Structure 1
Amino acid sequence: MPALESLVSFVNSWECDENAHLNVQFYFARFETADAHFRTLVGLPASLRPGARHVRYHAELAEGDLVRAESCVVTEGPLAPGVVHTLLELSTGKVIATAWDAYHASAAESLRGVAQTADAAADVDPRLCGPRGVTAPVPGAISREHLLASGGFVSTRGIIHPADTDADGCAQQRALVGYFSDGASVVWERSGVTKELINSLGYGRVAVEMRLTRFDRFRAGDLVEQISGLVQINERTLWFRHHQFEARTGRLVTIGDAVGLAMDLTTRKAVRFPADAIAGAPILGERAG
């Protein structure tokens, strides 16, 4: 059976960022909404949750664009067991972004049962929906102290407001990715691809891939301390990692991986980083996982 429609939406001007396109946090918001509708459509139990959400950004969305999403269960191939959500431009059907919700192997039988009962399985192309730049396993438990001693730095301090939480009182992914997005600017600055540099060149800094892995949940009133660092850098892309801790307790809640690149804001095409700008960029991955 084809994937099920799980979202119909519209891009508001206030959801767009300095690059004049939909900010990453609002892609995650739409994938959360699509997942909620898909769960209702197919009867996916609330107790069955993925360990990570892996998002690929294939094209841009701008103010006023119409979007829809299709969702399906994946029971075969490298993305199984999982659920894939595909965000499409409503008028043209162009693929804008994909989200692969990766479930633990122990969920395979349950997902297969849901797929059979609701006829909700579909074939997906792992080259389109699967990991491309973020391929390494998520590091295990790691402390703030170890990260800071290994070259990490605080990129964001924030708080989870009641408006940031879902019906269960847990922080929505949109809020977490919003802090990833804010902290990314600090990472870019430290990498050498500074705001001053990109403004002088007419470039923007954009994400093309993200992975959100949850170990725990934030709730309203929790303080977010985000420690970030570079994992890998080459002439065109930069891979960085955010670790979100609850500041009072030191509890690791979320790890966010992101691959970013520089984009010419006139042509909307990817460009190489100036070699002299990134030559001395410090790599966290060599020392802290």
Structure 2
Amino acid sequence: MTTMIELWRGCVNAWECDELGHFNVRFYLARASEALANLAEAAGLNPIQRADALATLIPQTLHIRFLAEARPGAPLYIEGGFVGHDRASADVVLVMRHSGTGKPAASFAIKLAHAAPDTAQAFAWPDRFAKAARALQVETPDFAAPRGLTTRPGSRPVSLSAADALALTPIGRGRFGPHEMDAFGWMRTEFLLGRVSDSVTNFAAAFPEEWAMHAGEPSGNIGSALLECCIHVHRWPRAGDGYAIRSGLKSADTKVRNIVHWVLEPATGKPWWTMEGVAAPMDLDQRKLAEIDAATQAKVEAAVVPGIEA
């Protein structure tokens, strides 16, 4: 095994922060995508994000842990390497760290395919890749392992009719725009989180204390913070495709809530991607997870959807 190599370095821009006052989750994934392209190049592949590329790397499953807040101006860097690979896919681990302390800010465990940019169909790695990938092979740090969820895809069929049958809550709806696409016309990876992040505040049953604040009730300055998530990509959207997000609570204890999101194509009912997130209410004044009273906890537990999976 080798040590991780540096793959990206930069900072948190103020305009990339959200209502919680810290780096929005989509930008973690945007920086990880840049790091992934640099890792590919280190492994001897041609630039994978250029419009004239003959091959690219397409994420299939992404497990992310958000380990420490990143506030405006914070300097950050990403290091990483390959965990393993087979004929046409690979497992990669990336770690984003605070530059000043070296403390992990986030980890990314990504299963990806070596694929044709025009069709997204996987095909075999070039011969030169195996030797280069072995030289870049690393171990997954303990803190990057799943903690509050499983990374296995669910067995339940995912569709609009299944969402209706489970009475999953509509939290988002819209269209993917040209500004969200990559050089090949597929949606960029960061919008797997971006579109859910834009919509989750509508999920009143999962965060009644935050919803009370939006409804004008006295409830303190509360937001919802994502601590961990796993995303399974079923298909990649193109510009102009529509989406609808249907969500349900999988479980809830006194600290965190596991929430499942199905991002669906309304015209066909088929899934674009599914996601399970581990989230918690956050006291934005004290910058820590909020205390949950018994009445709120009972309300949240009553909203759990038995058997829901990502």
Which TM-score bucket, shorter chain as reference? 0.7 to 0.9
Letter in 2 for 1:71: G
Contact 2:158 2:270 (8 Å CA) reproduced? no
1:203 Cα offset (Å): 3.1
Equivalent-residue separation in structure 2 for 1:169 and 1:287 (angstroms): 35
Partner of 1:137: 152
1:250-289 correspondence runs (5 A): 250-281=269-300, 282-284=303-305, 286-289=306-309
Contact 1:11 1:61 (8 Å CA) reproduced? yes
- SS at 2:219's partner residue? helix
Q: Deviations over 1:230-288 (max 9, x none)?
A: 1111111001011111222222110011110122223322233222113133112x144
Equivalent-residue separation in structure 2 for 1:251 and 1:222 (angstroms): 12
Q: CA RMSD in A?
A: 2.7
1:110 Cα offset (Å): 6.2
Aligned residue among 128, 140, 147 for 2:143: 128
Q: Between Structure 1 and Structure 2, which shows a larger proportion of helix residues?
A: 1
Aligned residue among 47, 62, 68 for 2:71: 62
Partner of 2:200: 184
Unaligned runs of 5+ in 1: none
Alignment pair present for 1:220 and 2:239: yes
1:1-289 correspondence runs (5 A): 1-43=2-44, 46=55, 49-75=58-84, 82-102=91-111, 114=129, 116-118=131-133, 119-125=135-141, 127-135=142-150, 137-140=152-155, 141-197=157-213, 200-281=219-300, 282-284=303-305, 286-289=306-309
1:123 Cα offset (Å): 2.2
1:114 Cα offset (Å): 3.9
1:33 Cα offset (Å): 1.3
Letter in 2 for 1:30: R
Q: Deviations over 1:77-105 (max 9, x none)?
A: xxx9620011011222121000001358x
Equivalent-residue separation in structure 1 for 2:206 and 2:140 (angstroms): 38
Equivalent-residue separation in structure 2 for 1:81 and 1:265 (angstroms): 39
Contact 1:19 1:265 (8 Å CA) reproduced? yes
Residue 211 to residue 230, structure 1, CA distance change in 2 (3 Å): same
Residue 288 to residue 61, structure 1, CA distance change in 2 (3 Å): closer
* Equivalenced residues, count: 281
1:183 Cα offset (Å): 2.4
Residue 158 to residue 14, structure 1, CA distance change in 2 (3 Å): same
- The share of aligned pairs that are identical, in percent, is 27
Equivalent-residue separation in structure 1 for 2:44 and 2:234 (angstroms): 25
